[in-house]
Amino acid sequence: MGLIAVALGRAIPWYATQANETPPSGYVYAQGQVLHAGEHDFPASQCIGGAGTDYQVADLRNKFVLGADITKAAGLAAALGDTNASAPGPMGAGGLNGFTIATANLPVHSHTGSLSSGLGADSGDHAHGWSISGHGAHSHSDDSGFAFATAASNWGQNTTSGTYATPVTVGDRAGTTASDPGHSHSLAPGADDSHAHTMSISSSGGVGDVLGGNPYDQRPRFCAVVWIVKVKW
């Protein structure tokens, strides 16, 4: 059955199966071409400028169709929004197939995080252990009134009491022991007060850091058809 009784200017999707396929009689592809006298049956009021004989066919290639507001000026672009007030006028256009995110499109925000010691209910109670190691023989000095003996078992014995090994020095009652073999001293402070560590992260990224600066395809999944327009009876 052929396409009949269809008003002039009506656009319909046509599922072409090959390149340059001939449209049905009375139709042309909607690809923005200008039709001259004899190529269409539109009255002068619908021709370019509202007079004359040339008719401008809409270019619907690579576009989705959006309902226009017939009360608005012809060619008025669509505004951003979901209400009828945002609708375009007849022959209006708008939208983008791909969109590149810019820094201005990102909401103001910050990133926060926390550092945990892994101990305590609030990541707090813990201790720090460390040691100081000696490197070889060394001496200890004292001027508290005790003279030290050379034997380790007699260190700290007051020289006025008992008979022990001979002190290293006398007189000012300050002495220096013999060199002690290498050893280490260990220190383990008590647990620190409970506390938490906080961390803030800021980004200095710009447009080039958002999706690599490349546009992304925001179209839904689709199947391509060609649009044809009724131009002749």
Rounded to two decimals, what is the model's pTM? 0.52
User: What's the average model confidence in pLDDT over 106-117?
Assistant: 68
Give the pLDDT of residue 149: 45
Q: Is the pLDDT of residue 95 over 70?
A: yes
- Pairwise pLDDT comparison (88 vs 211), residue with the higher score: 88
Give the pLDDT of residue 187: 58
Give the pLDDT of residue 215: 76
Q: How far apart are CA 165 and CA 180, in angstroms?
A: 17
pLDDT tens digits, 22-72: 999 999 999 999 999 999 999 999 999 888 999 999 999 998 888 999 999
- Using only C-alpha atoms, the chain has a radius of gyration, in whole angstroms, of 46
- Pairwise pLDDT comparison (95 vs 123), residue with the higher score: 95
Which residues does 128 contact at the CB level (< 8 Å), separation at least 6? 189, 192
Amino acid at 76: L
Give the pLDDT of residue 164: 45
Nearest in space to 23 (alpha carbons), one of 33, 32, 13:
13
Give the pLDDT of residue 41: 97
- Pairwise pLDDT comparison (16 vs 214), residue with the higher score: 16
pLDDT tens digits, 121-179: 454 555 555 655 555 555 555 555 544 444 444 444 454 544 444 455 444 444 555 55
Q: Is the pLDDT of residue 14 over 90?
A: yes
- Pairwise pLDDT comparison (92 vs 204), residue with the higher score: 92
pLDDT tens digits, 186-227: 655 555 556 666 666 665 555 555 556 677 777 888 889 999
- Pairwise pLDDT comparison (16 vs 120), residue with the higher score: 16
